[in-house]
Amino acid sequence: MKTRLPLLAIVASGLLWGIIRINAADKAWDSWKLPAEETRLKPGAGSELVKANCLLCHSTDYISTQPPLTRDQWKATVLKMQQKFGAPYNAEKLDPQLVEYLVKAYGK
């Protein structure tokens, strides 16, 4: 029994230390905030469609930092977002104005 007491004391102090660290981490997360969005979409017909369909999942930076893509590449990218990543728009009813905007604003 005497040999178990030091072991129990070590385990209990470890658990207590873990609880203290978890509570401190929770408080740190409470004060953490994402930085404000600085990048804006380029103006143009279709920008509202991009805001409504693309910015639900990622920031404007994700669009504006892409290399200049062709029409086919933008269309494939938009379809990939829907089919592979679950973007919430219907690919069969995809407004061609969305791809057109991406081509004009961020294409080759």
Whether 83 shows a pLDDT value over 90: the answer reads no
Local confidence band at 95 (pLDDT 50, 70, 90 cut-offs) = confident
pTM: predicted TM-score of the whole model, two decimal places = 0.64
What is the per-residue DSSP string for 50-90?
HHHHTTTTS-HHHHHTSPPB-HHHHHHHHHHHHHTT--SS-
Q: What is the pLDDT of residue 19?
A: 67
For the segment 24-79, what is each residue's pLDDT rounded down to a tens digit? 555 666 677 777 777 789 999 999 989 888 888 888 988 989 999 999 999 999 98
Spatial distance between the Cα atoms of 94 and 53, rounded to a whole number of angstroms: 10
